[in-house]
Amino acid sequence: MERPNEKQPATATLPETQVPAPASVVTVDLAAAKVRREQSDSNAVAERSAPLHSLRNEIRIWTRDLLIAIGLALVIIVFLYQPVKVEGTSMAPLLSDQERIFINKFVYRFEPIQRGDVVVFWYPLDHSKSFIKRVVGLPGETVQIRQGAVYVDGKVVPEPYVPPQYEDLSDFGPKLVPPDSYFVMGDHRISSNDSRVFGAVASRYIYGRAVFAYWPVDHFGSLSATDADTK
């Protein structure tokens, strides 16, 4: 028997429609943009903070170097130099009463004492006291004073550090300076207790040379054989 044609179920084809992009893709794109913005912001912050970091590093370096310099200065002052206070006016006008100066305690271990040096020494008649005077005569020389002018071995010694009003016009000598000793005098000749009174000073009593004045501030500076006439 012939079977009637079976009816096939009808099918319908829907028109093609465009499927929107998944929401997750949009989210990823937004997140990437956010990351880029954050990276840009962080880069900007880093660029702004770089000069500040460099400044801080520079300050740390300068502070370190300054502390090292101060430490070295203190070591030099403690072991090489000694601060002393001048009492009296025998070295005026180079040094005034109560003036503060530094003396070099080791200079004469490396070089000889020279004429014109301003030296600090133990007072030969009382070793508990220190005097400061200028070296005029060296070992073996003959010192003589004629009407205030100093002669060494018969030759006059120029003394620009002695102002006319401080000269002592009296005579002295001649006097031979013993070996390893020094004839010393104050620049304020009419007001100085020096080798004219207590004799030459043995080198073992001389323990420093005046090198620098630091107080009062108007005397701040180095001390040399020719400084007196500029103060």
Name which residue leads in pLDDT, 213 or 43: 213
CA distances 31 to 22, 24, 36, 41, Å, are 15, 10, 9, 15
User: Which one is predicted more confidently, 208 or 40?
Assistant: 208
Res. 164 pLDDT band, cuts 50 70 90: very high
Which of 76 and 97 is assigned the larger pLDDT? 97
Distance, CA of 38 to CA of 44 (rounded, Å) = 10
Question: With helix as H, strand as E and coil as C, how does 5-47 read?
Answer: CCCCCCCCCCCCCCCCCCHHHHHHHHHHHHHHHHHHHHHHHHH
Q: Which of 141, 142, 89, 114 is nearest to 203 (CA)?
A: 114
SS3 107: helix
Q: How sure is the predictor about 231, in pLDDT bands with cuts at 50, 70 and 90?
A: very low
Of the candidates 182, 186, 197, the one whose C-alpha atom is nearest the C-alpha of residue 138 is: 182
Cβ-count burial 74-94 (b if 16+ within 10 Å, e if not): eeeeeeebeebebebbbbbbb
Q: Is the pLDDT of residue 113 over 70?
A: yes
Pairing of strands 172-176, 142-146: antiparallel
CA distance 204 to 113: 12
Higher pLDDT pick, 92 / 24: 92
DSSP lists the bridge partners of residue 133 as 119
How do residues 116-156 score in pLDDT, each as one tens digit?
A: 999 999 999 999 999 999 999 999 999 999 999 999 999 99
Quick one: pLDDT at residue 23?
A: 46
- Phi/psi for 87 (5° steps) reads -120, 125
Q: What pLDDT is stored for residue 43 in this prediction?
A: 59
Query: Please, are residues 61 and 69 in contact by the beta-carbon 8 Å criterion?
Result: no
Closest CA to 150 of 102, 99, 114, 116: 116
CATH class of the region 83-230 = mainly beta
| In the predicted structure, residue 14 carries a pLDDT above the cut 70 | no
Quote the pLDDT of residue 91: 96
Does position 37 have pLDDT exceeding 70, yes or no?
no
- Which range in 25-29, 81-85, 179-183 is most confidently predicted, on average pLDDT? 179-183
Residue bearing the bigger pLDDT, 49 or 25 = 49
Confidence of residue 26 (pLDDT cuts 50, 70, 90): very low
Contacts of 207 (CB under 8 A, 6+ apart): 105, 120, 121, 122
Which pLDDT score, from 0 to 100, does residue 39 have? Answer: 62
pTM, entire model: 0.67
CB atoms within 10 A of CB 96: 16
| Residues carrying an active site annotation | 90, 133
